[in-house]
Amino acid sequence: MHEIICPHCGKAFKIDEAGYADILKQVRDSDFEQQLHKRLELAEADKQNAVELAMSKVTGELQKTAAAKDSEIQELKAKLDAGEITRKLAVTEALSSVEKERDTLANELAKTLRERDSAAKLAEAHLLNQLQKAAATKDAVIQELTSKLSATEVAQKLAISEAVGRAERERDELRGCLERSELEKQLAEKSLKDKYETQIKDRDDAIDRLRDMKARLSTKMVGETLEQHCDTEFNRIRATAFPRAYFEKDNDARSGSKGDYIFRDADETGTEIVSIMFEMKNESDETGSKKKNEDFLKELDKDRNEKSCEYAVLVSLLEPDSELYNSGIVDMSHRFRKMYVIRPQFFIPIVTLLRNAAQNSLMYKKELALVKEQNTDITNFENELDAFKTGFARNYELASKKFKTAIQEIDKTIDHLQKTKDALLGSENNLRLANNKADDLTVKKLAKGNPTMAAKFAELKNQNPSDNE
């Protein structure tokens, strides 16, 4: 038995003497040798043709791919030349990736060719050195080389196809991102534009409606709207803040004019705390002749006096640009007593302020009413005393005249009526005594039985003890 080692795979196999002799015979055979050389030459030619064809195909494919990529890159660069730096970078990265892959494939191809050349040369050397071994393995070597070459071509095509597909996908993704960003930008701009156009249209419509409404309102209607506002604001807090208050429209126009509202408030005994005459004034924007607040103060004061109100308040929206009236409650007492001009938002505050201030002075009002009542008692007493004195003096004067007349008649007949004269003189003396008694009549004596006067004189006695000594 003889052992033969394969020069390609290194595998050892054994053949018998007959087989070994047969191989030696074939190797030594000149015809076999010529055929072997021819087949080796054919194999070498096929190998070279295959290598050149593969290189030609790979080069052509790479050139086409590079040309296509260059064209696409130029096209992308032209489209993205408007400052799209990120897309340029992406294209550059894609180009770099493709070029790297192309270079890698070229290097792998060159390396494969070099390795294949080395393997072919190694196989040829082994075949020359060991013809006996080459004969047995030449077909396998050729087949293996052919398979490797085919596999290399397929791998190269697949790699190139994958690189092209990846580049195309990246290009499509970039193009899609660009289109989506442009579409999103257009949609956002359109949405924002539509939103603001809608808001502007709504605002213009609201302004037109308000202007149209104001144009249709007369000055009286605008004023009544202000009255309704004040009436609503007051009724909203009436039950809690002003349970005993009177706040109604002034419908009494017997004097030729009237205010808008009258406010009166009283305590639990019915004593009036405060009273206010209100006038509400407003005008529309389209009113030709603009009024001033001072134009209504005199008429308001007149209405206040006719309705016996303590305070007068003008609730006004006139002169809207006046800093004086816009600053708060304006005191107009320098023009008319206890008069104020306010904006509608100060309606409830001024009612509260005036009512609270009046409550603080309610005690003094009650004391003043008591003093007035006492003064009335004294006045009535003095009037009765004066009437008594007047009547008594009149009666005394009449009686004195009659007595004087009688005396004169008596003097004429004195001789005959001496006794009558003496009697009359006695009557005159009695009248004189009566007059003295009347003169002696004092206020203190007449105050007896009058508790009010007795209290007053007792108070005077206590205050002036020196007058009684």
CA distances from 107 to 53, 62, 70, 156 (A): 17, 13, 21, 11
Query: Average of pLDDT values for 31-53?
Result: 72
CA distances from 407 to 53, 228, 396, 402, 433 (A): 188, 87, 16, 9, 18
Among the listed ranges 109-123, 133-147, 351-365, 455-469, which one has the minimum average pLDDT value?
133-147
Copy the structure tokens of residue 448: 């007896």
Q: Determine the pLDDT at residue 353.
A: 92
pLDDT in tens, 410-421: 667 666 666 666
Q: Determine the pLDDT at residue 286.
A: 47
Nearest to 262 by CA among 331, 332, 309: 309
Nearest to 219 by CA among 287, 319, 279, 150: 287
pLDDT in tens, 241-290: 999 999 999 887 777 778 889 999 988 888 888 999 999 998 764 455 67
DSSP assignment string, 190-230: HHHHHHHHHHHHHHHHHHHHHHHHHHH--HHHHHHHHHHHH
Whether the CB-CB separation of 457 and 447 falls below 8 Å is answered with: yes
